[in-house]
Structure 1
Amino acid sequence: MSEHGFQAEGISAALDLAVGHIADFAITSGGRTLKPLHRAPWIDHDDLPEGLPEGVARLSGDFLCAPFSRSDVEAAPLHGWPANSAWDLLADETISGRRRVSFRLRHKVMGATVDKTLILRDDHPFLYQEHSFTGGAGSISVAHHPITEMAAGGRLAFSPKRLAATPPDVTEPDPARGAHLLAYPARSANLTRFPTADGSQTDLTCYSATRRHEDFVTLVEADHGGMGWTAVARTAEADVVLVLKNPAELPVTMLWISNGGRYYAPWNGRHGVLGIEDGRSAIGHAASLGDNWLKQEGIETAFALGSHVAFRQIVGAMPWDGGEAPLQVEALPGRLRLTFADGSRREAPFDETFLRIGQPILK
């Protein structure tokens, strides 16, 4: 199937209509073109393993998971139909310097109609996204799935987090097929001192350029009352990738660290990316609906369906060759400000109202 491309001044994107993944995303800033999202190198190859989900075969950029991980309540591929099946274009319009494009998933999810709205604004280095569910029955876990390439590693920073935790199951238990670094299960309130499989500790805010491993860890947002954010200062790419959310909608951030730690096809030890998966979910649909560890921490892991449910996320990038991630990311009127340890700042045009619950999507 084809891609649907769209653009505003200084920014462009394209959606892969076969699976609803963002196939391309480019930002022009400071005389440079920034490419914050990763596209798997095996896309459009004919030698992929049999039985690979479409969402893995065409793995790109960012996409909606509904449910997140295992579809073990209603039959569907890994990460659900929104990540693995066709979307139709509903509208593409330009309104007052905004390019707004909307799509609808052909499949229903738990009986609900699923819509995707993507917005680019002139000279804003951000893609503004909303997903909504109308109708249906039961509950659904959800997550966004941005993936960014880390060719030479980099540094990470986050809005305040209560804790980080790995699940019970090891990501790659067979050393002939892959490698993992972290301990399973484990938890820590200090992101710079997380338990590892060998009994030592590692810094989750440092993405190594050389250490090969495949890991998954969930970060639980603290009760700070502000915007949730992840900032990734990429060394080789000389930029800061930003993923922004409202924690009341998406209370966890799940890090998929795919740093060459899968040796089998189609990964073949070459992936080297970071997934920054803001969600309202445990691992798997059934687990999200049950009495999981996040619920015991007071964290919601699914949305109730039946009327209209919507949630939003923002992803973008800014040039930065300082190597360190920002200490703070602040939403100011019409601007996003990054503050670094040396006192320097970077700002960019930003719609600070977009993540407010109930805010009209075209204010």
Structure 2
Amino acid sequence: MDISTIKARGFSVSLDLTVGHIADMTVDGDGRRLKPLHRAPWVDAGETLPKDLPQGTVRLSGDFLCAPFSRSDVEDAPLHGWPANSAWDITESSATDGGWRAVFRLRHKVMGASVDKILTLIDGHPFLYQEHVFSGGHGAISVAHHPMTAMKGGGRLAFSPKRFAATPADPLEPDPARGRFMLAYPARSADLGHFPAAAGGTRDLTDYRMDDRREDFVTLIEADHGGPGWTALARKAEDDLVLVLKNPAELPVTMLWLSNGGRDYAPWSGRHLGVLGIEDGRAAVGHAASIGDNWLKREGVATAFALGDSFSFRHVIGAMPLPGGEPPQEVVTADGRMRLSAGGSTWDVPFDSDFLRIGQPAAA
């Protein structure tokens, strides 16, 4: 196992260089060590896995870059593309004035493009700052981050303003002999608290319940609100807050993967519990769909980046102790701080408010 670990005061991140997944992330806060990211139970367990699994599933961990997102049906590659399934090399890794910066390069090309991953930590900041840079290549590529967290007792979700949420035409597990789902497919709702359910009625997308054994996938479309896009998860048993942030001009959709014991076949085997993927992207489901006609494009949402010139996009993952037990209803970033507001109370944490480049033109 080839692991690269970088550290700053109060923060540690380890990258699995064999597949580019974050193998571990720890955040110190209020005398506790928080571990916000998930690692699949079969990784490094020594068990025999199905032979046809992509390496990204074999080593499923933390967060990784998808390029393309989901099916690789334009250029031959595994599920979620080479960035999620093949080796990365360290090209730079060194202390900075107040933190650490590391650069990794994907050995494979993606549609002829080289791909760099830049990870930055800042002393005392409870956030991992990520940037991916694509240089050269041809055609177009869909992209998404794939951070996953896991809970023992469920949690409550809050989001930056969204236009609506929608499920695709088909569920992830349509065969009841293999798995189950709870949302209606296809369906959409502008009210995240009342999303159509498969059995009739509605489900609350802001409430992750451990007794809801299912695999579900739903896409949230960012509203035009002028600030960062964000997802906040208050994990009940862990008593902490997981935050994921993006620039909506770069990554206009947030795809939620609710994986809570809803797959009965190996390696999932009903044991992949309490997992939530918060997948910010510029993508439809599958490479061909993303660069062709799709329902998101018809809603005015970009689903791919043009390759050729260099472009990049940025993303942030953080965690902190949770005062009050509820996720924030407002997140404002300015002047090197993040202000979170929930239940009539507010609190501030250090944050690089320039990092996400809000208000700057997005890449083509």
Q: Verify the 8 A CA contact 2:337 2:348 in the aligned structure 1.
A: yes
Give, in whole Å, the separation in 2 of the partners of 1:83 and 1:346: 36
Amino acid paired to 1:326: P
Contact kept in structure 2, 1:151 and 1:236, CA below 8 Å? yes
Matches within 5 A, 1:36-47: 36-44=36-44, 45-47=46-48
Q: Is the 8 A contact 1:43 1:57 kept in 2?
A: yes
Counterpart for residue 176 of structure 1: 177
* Alignment partner, residue 76 of structure 2: 75
Q: Which residue of 2 aligns with 1:299?
A: 301
| Displacement of 1:121 | 0.5
Question: Counterpart of 1:5 in 2: which secondary structure?
Answer: strand
Q: Which residue of 2 aligns with 1:225?
A: 226
- In 2: Cα distance, 1:205 partner to 1:10 partner: 29
2:94 & 2:6 partners in 1: Cα distance?
10
1:336 corresponds in structure 2 to 338
What amino acid does structure 2 have at the position aligned with 1:309? F
Match of 1:269 in 2: 270
Match runs of 1:184-195 below 5 Å: 184-195=185-196
| Deviation (angstroms), 1:322 | 2.7
Match of 1:288, SS? helix
Kindly provide the amino acid, as one letter, of the partner of residue 211 in structure 1: D
| Aligned residues of 2:228 and 2:358 also touching (Cα < 8 A) | no
Change (3 A) 1:103 1:358: farther
- 1:318 shift after superposition: 1.0
Task: Give the superposition deviation at 1:259.
Answer: 1.0
Aligned counterpart, 2:346: 345
Determine if the alignment matches structure 1 residue 26 to structure 2 residue 22.
no
CA displacement, residues 51-81 of structure 1 (integer Å, 9 cap, x when unaligned): 1110000000000000000000000000000
Residue 256 of structure 2 is matched in structure 1 by 255
Which residue identity is paired with 1:316?
A: G
Match of residue 322 from structure 1: 324
Aligned CA distance change for structure 1 residues 357 and 136 (closer, same or farther; 3 Å) = farther
Instruction: Provide the secondary structure at the position in 1 that maps to 2:56.
Output: helix
Look up the equivalent residue of 1:313 and give its one-letter code.
H
Give the match's secondary structure for 2:83: helix
- Name stretches of at least 5 consecutive residues in structure 2 with no aligned partner: none
Q: Give the drift of 1:358.
A: 9.9
SS at match of 2:119: strand
Asked if structure 2 preserves the Cα contact closer than 8 Å seen for 1:140 and 1:302, the reply is yes
Aligned to 1:309: 311
Which amino acid letter does the alignment assign opposite residue 152 of structure 1? G
Could you tell me which amino acid in structure 2 is paired with residue 231 of structure 1? Answer: A
Q: Give the counterpart letter for 1:42 in structure 2.
A: W
CA-based RMSD: 1.1
Deviations 1:25-50 (A, max 9, x none): 00011100011100111002231111
* Distance in 1 of aligned mates of 2:348 and 2:209: 27
Alignment partner, residue 102 of structure 1:
103
SS in 2 for 1:219: strand
Unaligned ranges ≥5, structure 1: none
Q: Where does residue 283 of structure 1 map in the other structure?
A: 285
Aligned pairs (5 A) from 1:80-159: 80-159=81-160
Does residue 355 of structure 2 align to residue 354 of structure 1?
yes
- Distance across 2 between alignment mates of 1:263 and 1:302: 33
SS at the partner of 1:55? Answer: helix
Report deviation, 1:180: 0.1
Q: State the 1:332 CA deviation.
A: 2.4
Q: TM-score, normalised by structure 2?
A: 0.97
Moved over 3 A (4+): none
Is contact 2:9–2:99 with CA below 8 Å preserved after alignment? no
- Residue pair 1:154, 1:323 contacting (<8 A) in 2 also: no
Whether the aligned pair in 2 keeps the contact of 1:110 and 1:137 (CA below 8 Å) is yes
Q: 2:207 and 2:16 mapped to 1: Cα distance?
A: 31
Change (3 A) 1:101 1:358: farther
Report how many residues are paired.
Answer: 358
| 2: CA distance, partners of 1:295 / 1:172 | 26
Separation of aligned partners in 1, 2:324 and 2:38? 22
**Cα gap change, 1:231 to 1:358, in 2 (>3 Å):** closer
- Note the C-alpha offset of 1:151: 1.2
Tell me what 1:7 maps to: 7
Q: Conserved in 1, the CA contact under 8 Å of 2:23 and 2:39?
A: yes
SS of equivalent residue, structure 1 residue 279? strand
For the residues of structure 2 that align with 1:40 and 1:335, how far apart are their CA atoms? 33
CA contact (8 A) 1:234 1:240 kept: yes
Give, in whole Å, the separation in 2 of the partners of 1:12 and 1:144: 19
- 1:321 deviates by 5.2
Shift of 1:209: 1.6
| Structure 1 residues 148-172: Cα deviation after superposition (integer angstroms, max 9, x where no partner) | 0021001000000001000001111
> How many Å apart are 1:260 and its aligned residue?
1.0
Percent identity among equivalent residues? Answer: 68
Q: CA deviation at 1:295?
A: 0.2
Alignment correspondent of 2:203: 202
